[in-house]
Structure 1
Amino acid sequence: MDLDPRLLRYFVAVAEELNFSRAAHRLHISQPPLSYAIKQLESAIQAQLLVRTSRHVELTAAGRALYNESLFLLRKNADVQKLIQRIDAGLHGQIKIGFVGSMLYRRLSEVITLFQQHYPDIEHVLLELNSAEQIELIEHGGLDIGFIHANPVPSAISRLDLVSESFSICLPDTHPLADEAYLDLNELAQDDFIFFSRSFSPSYYETLLSMCLQAGFFPKVKNEARHWLSVASLVSQGMGVSIVPECLSRSGLSGIRFLPFEHEQKSICSLIWSELPPSQIKEKHIKLVRNVYGC
């Protein structure tokens, strides 16, 4: 049975005051509308809720049962209203966040901590995905925001560049040049290279390739990986050398060296999102990201 919350509030006031005059005063209405409302409620339920005399009001067994249920229903109704209001204000709900592994060394933990501090009632779901996977999911509504490497994105997706940093040469610590302070990239012309996967990030693959070509050689790419951390891990296992974003030097991986070299290319990470459907939760999180990275 769908009961009018207004009638339930009126009934609760009478049940607690056991006096129509006091209940009417509490509800800021006159007594006749209150009496009529209780009759409406009894008619809807088809049960007597109160025993009334000129001096006394008493709850029937049905009235006592309805009183307890009314408290629960009114409390639940208030909770639902608060929940909807918080969702509408962007203070409650869920947000799905994609990230590439290198973001772990580009202040991602700081960003997530701020998210949780500012919006503790929002569930933050983190998914490690490569850039291509994130772009596809953002486009189809599977992610709210994503942290990606520099990649072309469809016109329906917004992008904000957050970090631009240099690349480093990545060598196994057993490599003959590992103890050098600085290298020319062409000194590695005869080495096997590990590149970021061409199929998952053509732009990064082309960036690494162009740096080698500018240094005067065509690299022997023996292995590819879908994540920068995988690239660095393969290097640490002696599977080859690579060129990686400078931030990976903060990864703490053992068995590798990171060396500077002369180049003009930059490793860029970006925040991406779709404007549709509009979401206050998403907008508030994007604003926090802007504050962290100063953009």
Structure 2
Amino acid sequence: MPCTIVETDMIDLRRVRYFVTAAEQLHFGRAAERMNVVQPAISQQIKRFEEELGSKLFVRTGNEVRLTEVGQQMLPECRRLLEQADEAMRVAKAARSGIRGRISFAFVDNAVCSLLPPLIRSYRERYPNVELRLQTLSREEQVTGLNDRRIDIGLLPGPVIREGLESDPFVGAPLVAALSRGHPLASQPSIPLEAFHDEPFVLFPAGIKSRLLEVIIAACANAGFTPRVAQEAMHIHTVLALVDAGVGITLVPPWVVREGVHDVSFVKLDTSTPTYDLKFAWRTDSSNVALDGLRAIARTTCSSESPQMSESLSVIEESQIINLPYRSQELKSPNGCPV
């Protein structure tokens, strides 16, 4: 039956290494040379190890050294112990450098369409040993999750002005109009927002705290009207499906543009609208160094020059996209909420 070391916290790993080396060499002089120490040091440390164990590990007869029964049983266990210790050091080093670990990453619904797939794909390729735990949460849920340490980083609409949180701009752009392909204005190269004065809108429910809804309401107010809501929906994909069905029109950030997902036309607006932007947010006191790699990859993956972003925004002029570094234009919606 193998001799298992139980009280590993009381064992000096240096002595374990000396023992394993001497057991493999069966010669204290060669073991000392291999460990780059003098022979008396090896002999002394192994003697102390034997005293701790209460058993002899070696039998020394003249120039011959051989393992005792206890030594033979101890050798594989000590090898495993050293392997575990070495692995623990490798894990700690990898975690310290951000190439191993875990990130709990939350994001708003509209980021899923075009922004996240290239970002997540690139991150997994670069950091295969970092586990990404992904979930869709609203802006308020993300802020709460960050405060409660249930998530490490969020991708949410700005501004993010909360004590204890830091943020980085990710991507921002003016809104575009989404219309069913059969809509009379769907073939226009651009449309003034005022043209939708009497149009039915598909929007998020008024009772939820939606940054995108606030930006839409503020944009329409700046254009001189309040949108007439024909239907409400909780998720961006449902909103676009209802637009596809001809229930109404809506305004969206350009990164939701995905050819073939819905039979919807996306048209630029002539009217200047508030910029809808997404920011990364994380705790100021976060010790998760893996976050640095995620944010760094995001800056290159989602720049206006990247193939992924250019393809997603094929119907929108790239000059409308505002990338890092970026300052959001602060406007006020009719109810006084910042948008």
- Give the Cα separation in 2 of the matches to 1:100 and 1:145: 12
Partner SS, residue 247 of structure 2: coil
- Does 2:148 match 1:140? yes
Q: How far did residue 152 of structure 1 move?
A: 4.4
Gap change, CA 1:189 and 1:65, over 3 Å in 2 = same
Q: How far did residue 246 of structure 1 move?
A: 2.4
Q: 2:288 is matched with which residue?
A: 279
1:76-122 deviation digits (Å, cap 9, x = unpaired): 11111111121122221101222223324554333223322332221
Q: 1:169 is matched with which residue?
A: 177
Q: How far did residue 269 of structure 1 move?
A: 1.9
Which of 7, 16, 39 in structure 1 is aligned with 2:15? 7
Q: 1:124 is matched with which residue?
A: 132
Residues 114 and 257 in structure 2, CA contact (< 8 A), matched pair in contact too: no
Residues 193 and 240 in structure 1, CA contact (< 8 A), matched pair in contact too: yes
Code of the residue aligned with 1:169 in structure 2: it is A
Code of the residue aligned with 2:279 in structure 1: it is S
Q: How far did residue 151 of structure 1 move?
A: 4.4
Q: 2:198 is matched with which residue?
A: 190
- Does 2:38 match 1:30? yes
Q: 1:159 is matched with which residue?
A: 167
Residues 7 and 37 in structure 1, CA contact (< 8 A), matched pair in contact too: yes
Q: Structure 2, unaligned stretches of length 5 or more?
A: 1-6, 304-323, 326-339
Q: How far did residue 71 of structure 1 move?
A: 0.8
Residues 233 and 239 in structure 2, CA contact (< 8 A), matched pair in contact too: yes
Partner SS, residue 105 of structure 2: strand
Q: 1:90 is matched with which residue?
A: 98
Partner SS, residue 41 of structure 1: helix
**Which runs of structure 2 are paired with 1:155-234 in the superposition (5 Å)?**
155-234=163-242
Which of 298, 302, 305 in structure 2 is aligned with 1:289? 298
**Which runs of structure 2 are paired with 1:50-69 in the superposition (5 Å)?**
50-69=58-77
Gap change, CA 1:36 and 1:259, over 3 Å in 2 = closer
Gap change, CA 1:158 and 1:223, over 3 Å in 2 = farther
Code of the residue aligned with 2:33 in structure 1: it is H
Q: 1:100 is matched with which residue?
A: 108
- Does 2:83 match 1:80? no
Gap change, CA 1:127 and 1:22, over 3 Å in 2 = same
Residues 168 and 260 in structure 1, CA contact (< 8 A), matched pair in contact too: yes
- Identical pairs, percent: 27
Code of the residue aligned with 2:135 in structure 1: it is L
Code of the residue aligned with 2:294 in structure 1: it is H
1:120-147 deviation digits (Å, cap 9, x = unpaired): 2211222222222222212222222222
Q: 2:265 is matched with which residue?
A: 257
- Does 2:211 match 1:241? no
Code of the residue aligned with 1:282 in structure 2: it is L
Q: Structure 1, unaligned stretches of length 5 or more?
A: none
- Give the Cα separation in 2 of the matches to 1:20 and 1:206: 77
Gap change, CA 1:214 and 1:38, over 3 Å in 2 = closer
Partner SS, residue 191 of structure 2: coil
Code of the residue aligned with 1:59 in structure 2: it is L
Residues 105 and 247 in structure 1, CA contact (< 8 A), matched pair in contact too: yes
Residues 160 and 167 in structure 2, CA contact (< 8 A), matched pair in contact too: no
Query: Which of the two has greater helix per residue?
Result: 1
Gap change, CA 1:123 and 1:257, over 3 Å in 2 = same
1:9-29 deviation digits (Å, cap 9, x = unpaired): 111122111122222222233
Q: 1:21 is matched with which residue?
A: 29
Give the TM-score normalised by the residue count of structure 2.
0.78
Give the TM-score normalised by the residue count of structure 1.
0.88
Moved more, 135-144 or 68-77: 135-144
Partner SS, residue 124 of structure 1: strand
Gap change, CA 1:196 and 1:30, over 3 Å in 2 = same
- Give the Cα separation in 1 of the matches to 2:25 and 2:226: 89
